[in-house]
Structure 1
Amino acid sequence: MTKILQNSLLQPRTRYQVLATMIVNIITFGHGLGVGWLSPTLSKIQSPSSPLDFEVNIDEVSWLGSMIGLGSLCANLTIALLLERAGRKFCIYLLAVPYACLWILVYFASNVGFLYAARFLCGFTGGAAFVVFPIYISELADTSIRGALCSLVMLSYNFGVLAGFVLSTYLPYHVVPMLGICLPIAYFLANLKLPETAPYLLRQGQLSAAEISFDYYKNPTDRKAKQTTKCDFDELRTAVLAQQCQNSEPLSYKDLITRPALKAFGAAAVLCLGLECCNVYSFINYMSDTFASSGLALDANTSTIIIGIVQIFGVYTSTLIVDIVGRRLLMLISNLGVGLGCIAFGCFTYCAEQYDLTAFNWLPLVLMIVIIYLANIGLIALFFLQLVELFPAKIRSLATSISVVWMSILIFATLKLFPLMMFHWGISVTMWFSGAWSLFTFIYLLFFLPETMGKSMIED
């Protein structure tokens, strides 16, 4: 009970940490809205009654899906250059611009090129946010709730995906972008008063600004709390100065090939492969088409909305228990469950082609619920937190960006290939392929993934 109370997000000490997390996650919600918007919209813009002046074909659909990966890749490279030079706050502000342009392009689309550009900007927003936000939150959050706050990044993203599924299913095409454009305005205004993180300011030599930032996020409410906060800040300052003395030499390629760095890169590379090659992200982007191919009796768009709700419950579960049971256990359960679920899904669709299984045509929805729920308690919810915590402090920003560049390349490849795999291989082989990758990831992580719960963000 004591540990649960210590991990509570409702303590006065953590009030502004939670507030800052909620504010920056406005844009994560918006990114989810942009991702979820695509799935139900595809069926509309591929039909003769398209709300636009053009229809899209299967090849254009695959490009629409995959452009988000190219956008994410460009964002990762941009953020890698800016994160340590310009700071976390500047990068956070930056995200409002491409996100606003995304909905302008969707609204005024006169050919498929507008939609390609919109999806590119959607990927740029997400690719930048998923690098900046975990680092920003990790540096301002208490260790006891860091996992829960970082999990809120994916929780808000999943709320956005659900909103995208619902709004694009039930509202006219041009109404959704008018609602979406409100988010970057609210995001920019809400961020105005949030200070830069104390660790970053200390590394820049801004001692007084760092102390003000630290006091703001720790929110001491009485004399004893202020004294404790002062001691905590002195410890942080000492740790940052010690780290700077230890790492007085500029960052070089040799820092990237130390034994701890290579072990972290190996785990990160496999995590990226596991997340993308298990095709969970592709399922989300093409959920309506996946259900239509499975022979599901229920309406595909309605089932897609149900999956959006399941994602939220999955990440919420992770938020509640990640700082109690740890990261490693949730990652292992997640990968094993997704692998077995995908194989079972493929077996059902294969058998449905050979035998009359109409009495069980609800089963694809149940299996997809299991897959998405288990993916969200670990693989999705903790992916970016795990990346941030794996790497040594000196290379954390650069190494996280490199890892997310690798992930973005995989996003582009898997989203481009997924509809083509479904078209040429069929749903059964595609699901077996996805399950095999999840099981491979599980085996690797079982032997090589360390537990990072409680790890210091300053000391290696």
Structure 2
Amino acid sequence: MKITIGIEKSKQHSNSDFHQYLATLTGSIAIICTGMHFGWPSPSLPLLLDENSHIPMTNSDGSWLAVMPCMGAVVGCFLAAYFVDKIGRKISMLMTSPLYFAAWIMVAYSTCVGILHGARFLAGIADGIAFTAFPMYLGEIAHSSIRGLLGSSIPVTTILGFLLINIIGSYFDITSTALLSSVVPILHFIMFFFMPESPYYLLMSKKEEDAKSSLKIFRGVDDVSVELSRLSSAVAENAETTGSIWDLFTVKSNRKAVFIIMGIRAVQQLSGTTVITFYAKTIFRDAGSNLSSSTAAIIYFSIQLVVATLASILVDKTGRRPLLIFSIIGSGFALATEGIYIYIQTYTDIDMTSFHSIPVIALLVYVVVFNLGMGTIPLLLLGELFPTNVKAFALCLADIYFGIIVTAVSKFFQIMKDDFGMHVPFLAFTAFCVIGLIFIITSVPETKGKTLEEIQMYLRGEESKLEKNVT
């Protein structure tokens, strides 16, 4: 397949990207819903675990409540793997809104742990659909010059969801928090309804005129013949070998992409990010910070949001690998500091009064350096590394894997914290950062500035052909 890369890039770089940003903004509201459901345990679990809670609950119940969306996501991503190629990326995204809305209503009026578990599981189904369909949608509508920025909107808006639910949950009870949160999925449905479908999907569905119209909107120009020809060729080439889930393991380039994604997602979660989010208020309380747990958690997520936004801007300028390497090294140092402080404070007679700010500072340093790379780039890579004919299967597999790993790490955190002390999981996360650094240096490629087709050429080992096309 001949790719006219140089002509296309120079021609489209000056075009209007307004509708790409608009589709990203409106679609990301669903990801805010995801963040709000994922972050809900931070303000709500302490209330539910309190002895005066209207729903009696044990620590074990609470840990299962925290990870229940990950289990629901397994179901959701299977549904999404079917729907994204049958009814489209856009309709699949719109399906998440009623699911998120129903989950919040169930939370608002729940009277037992079982209903809460059901609500969280339902939200997880929506998460699985959203995190399969939206990375695919963004990767297919975005120009290569801003794909990193648009793709990074997913972790940024997830964090925004964490922040919103912590703010709301700090000032309202569980019922009011859920009812207020139920407005967000309604907003997503209304706004995203008017966005165009992915031109890739329209070409796969033999709707060339619709694909042309979609591409004109996203590129802001009337002449899209060059890019439409390239996309048509890419879709036709993929269609010649109908993809299946087994192609992820039997095709060398797909197998390489799976290895990269599984590795980087494992490193991301084994460095503790999701469980720290789940237990943010509890961690600040147990670490002995002078700040109230609610205030500390809001500060934590506010800084996380600012840094993730900065990372989304930097990722297309500095590249993926430099940010990942800096991020994993800094995260390791911050986690080690947190673990050592908690151990000294809890198990020695050393007076730590003069150093009471260390746990908050260490966690804030962690959130800064982690979100400069590790918090944003793994999801971006997920939308970049797979060809169209297996992308739905790849994202489905990645979501299942993510759910399993988050559930396992969350249970590990809860068991280690309860049985051996809070310092143990932090020191374990530090060790995983060291392993992660080695993996990033040896295995993660640089995708900055490459089209999706160029990335596939790299994964197939066609570097010489790629260099020829670029020049």
**After TM superposition, is the score higher than 0.5?**
yes
State the AA in 2 paired with 1:193.
F
Residue 457 of structure 1 pairs with residue 452 of structure 2: yes
Q: Equivalent residues in 2 for 1:393-408 (5 A)?
A: 393-408=388-403
Amino acid at match of 1:406: Y
* 1:44 aligned counterpart, secondary structure: helix
Taking the TM superposition and a 5 Å limit, the aligned residue runs for 1:108-147 are: 108-147=109-148
What percent of counterpart residues are identical? 26
Q: Report the equivalent of 1:425.
A: 420
Trace 1:157-196 onto structure 2 (pairs within 5 A): 157-196=158-197
Say whether residues 1:324 and 2:320 are aligned partners. Answer: no
Query: What pairs up with 1:242-281 in 2 under 5 angstroms?
Result: 242-244=237-239, 247-249=240-242, 251=244, 253-254=246-247, 256-281=249-274
Q: Which residue of 1 aligns with 2:235?
A: 240
2:38 aligned residue (35, 38, 44): 35
Distance 1:255 1:276 in 2: 22
| Aligned position for 1:304 | 297
In structure 2, what is the equivalent of residue 283 of structure 1? 276
CA deviation string 1:72-123 (max 9, x = no partner): 2211222122222222112111111210111111111110111111221232
CA offset at residue 416 of structure 1? 2.8
> Distance in 2 between the 1:107 and 1:11 partners?
48
Secondary structure at the aligned position of 2:452 is classed as coil
Do the aligned residues in 2 keep the contact of 1:393 with 1:457 (CA within 8 Å)?
Answer: no
Aligned residues: 443
Specify the code of the residue in structure 1 equivalent to 2:341: F
The alpha carbon displacement at 1:325 in A equals: 0.9
Q: Which runs of 5+ in 2 are unaligned?
A: 1-8, 457-471
Shift of 1:287: 0.6
Query: How much does 1:239 deviate?
Result: 3.5
- C-alpha deviations, 1:277-307, integer Å up to 9, x for none? 2221000011111112222222111111110
Give the 4+ runs in structure 1 shifted more than 6 A.
none
Aligned-pair distance for 1:393? Answer: 4.2
Over the aligned positions, Cα root-mean-square deviation in angstroms equals 2.0
Q: Give distance in 1, aligned partners of 2:291 and 2:422.
A: 18
Which residue of 2 is the match for residue 343 of structure 1? 336
Q: Which moved more, 1:79-88 or 1:354-363?
A: 79-88
1:400 is displaced (CA, Å) by: 2.3
1:144 and 1:454 in contact (8 A); partners too = yes
Quick one: distance in 2 between partners of 1:344 and 1:48?
Answer: 32
Counterpart CA distance in 2 for 1:212 and 1:287 is: 46
Whether the 8 Å CA contact 2:235–2:388 is kept in 1: the answer is: no
Matched, 1:333 2:331: no
Cα deviation for residue 253 of structure 1 reads 2.4
What corresponds to 1:380 in structure 2?
375
CA distance in 2, matches of 1:83, 1:56: 38
The superposition leaves residues 139-195 of structure 1 with CA deviations (integer Å, 9 ceiling, x where unpaired) of: 011110011011112111111111111110111222112211112222112122212
Residue 19, structure 1, aligned to residue 22, structure 2: yes
2:51 corresponds, among 34, 48, 52, to: 48
Residues 37 and 167 in structure 1, CA contact (< 8 A), matched pair in contact too: no
Report if aligned partners of 1:211, 1:233 keep a CA contact under 8 Å in 2.
Answer: yes
Moved more, 159-168 or 291-300: 291-300
1:58: which partner in 2?
Answer: 59
Letter of the 1:93 counterpart? L
* 1:329-357 deviation per Cα after TM superposition (whole angstroms, max 9, x unaligned): 11222222212211121111122231111
Distance 2:385 2:331 in 1: 23
- What is the distance in 1 between the residues matched to 2:237 and 2:259? 28
1:384 and 1:249 map into 2 onto residues whose CA distance is: 25
Check the 8 A contact 1:68/1:412 in 2, yes or no: no
How far 1:28 sits from its partner (Å)?
1.0
1:315 aligns with 2:308: yes
On the 8 A contact 1:344/1:367 being kept in 2, the answer is: yes
Q: Does 1:72 align with 2:67?
A: no
Change (3 A) 1:239 1:415: same
